Amino acid sequence: MSIELFLYSKQLPAKSAIEQIIYPLGFQPVDESIKRPYYYYNYFEEENYESVCGVQLTVSKADPKDREIPRGTRTIFSARTAAGRCYEDIETQNNVIRKLKSVFGGSVYNDGDGRYAYVENYAPHLSAAEKRCGFVYLSFCMNIMRVVIVASKLDKDYIKRKELLGELYKFDKGLVTNNLIVVYLVSILETFLKDLFIAYIEMQPDLLQKIFDRSSKIDFQTLRALLEREKSLAEFEADYYTFQNLKSANLAYSTYLSVNLFNIWDRRRRKIDKKFYKVRDVVEELIELRHKIAHTAYLEPDFDEAQVKKYIEAVETAGKLLAEALEAKGFRIDLDKHL
């Protein structure tokens, strides 16, 4: 849910006077080519992953006939934050209204709780590393959602067509899509493991020093790429591992994140289609099938909705268990949970 913080001012300041206050705070105008009955600005600080959702600021002339605002109000300032806002976003939301009030005066109204007060900053103060890794995990969850949407749109008459068409069912559109989902699922997991590995290391100076100490000899091409910032030291280290290979991925995570993927994926079984599976077993089965599809143009003929569901849930659970393992170490990356 979004929260709006209003400032009802009896002044009617010039646009330039407003911008003198908000520009130093990091606000920028939003596409001024579009004609609006108000001024629109946006704040989103990318440095050190300070913002998660940012802050939207609008400035509009008050309607003198509006009885829901204080009498005599001429200008309405509105600072809005969306659901998922972080500590720094809320601080900026309060701060911009506070600065505007100090110059133009007026009454502050919090639409979130219906009081004349600033927004209570309840959000946890996440570190830059937690937020960066949190964005990686959020991207992983969104990719899983996309696969679920694709799978749910497949024709439900798969079994009926198989009975009617016999061998011809192998060319069924849904069957091909199911096999392609396998390729995409492995790519989702591989990208997540690699991106999270890089994001975590790049925000930990001690780990960067560990890589540097281990890499006593760096070839010229790699050194040039590092110096020219074409590649980071963490990306350089990530190239030594294959994140589509579970043994290699586990070595990377055990070495740098002190997380054993095999332990967290082996100790939990999931009930899928009335059967229990170890997450690691299903993921390895998925990767093996992906190799056959990608390298030999193989299509698994007996690929129904239950099989797709098993693979989707296995990959989703693998990512969730990894996030939970980091959370258990006090490293908060589940932004949906904390924000």
pLDDT at 272: 67
The whole-number pLDDT of residue 109 equals 96
Write down the pLDDT at residue 104: 97
Per the CB < 8 A criterion, the answer to whether 248 and 241 are in contact is: yes
Low-confidence ranges of the chain (pLDDT < 50): 157-161, 164-165, 168-171, 220
pTM: 0.86
Q: What is the reported pLDDT for 210?
A: 79
What does the radius of gyration of the chain's CA atoms come to, in whole angstroms? Answer: 26
Q: Which segments of the chain belong to CATH 3.30.310?
A: 3-110
Q: Domain 3-110, what fold? A: TATA-Binding Protein (3.30.310)
- pLDDT value of position 174: 66
Pick from 237, 148, 139: nearest CA to 197: 237
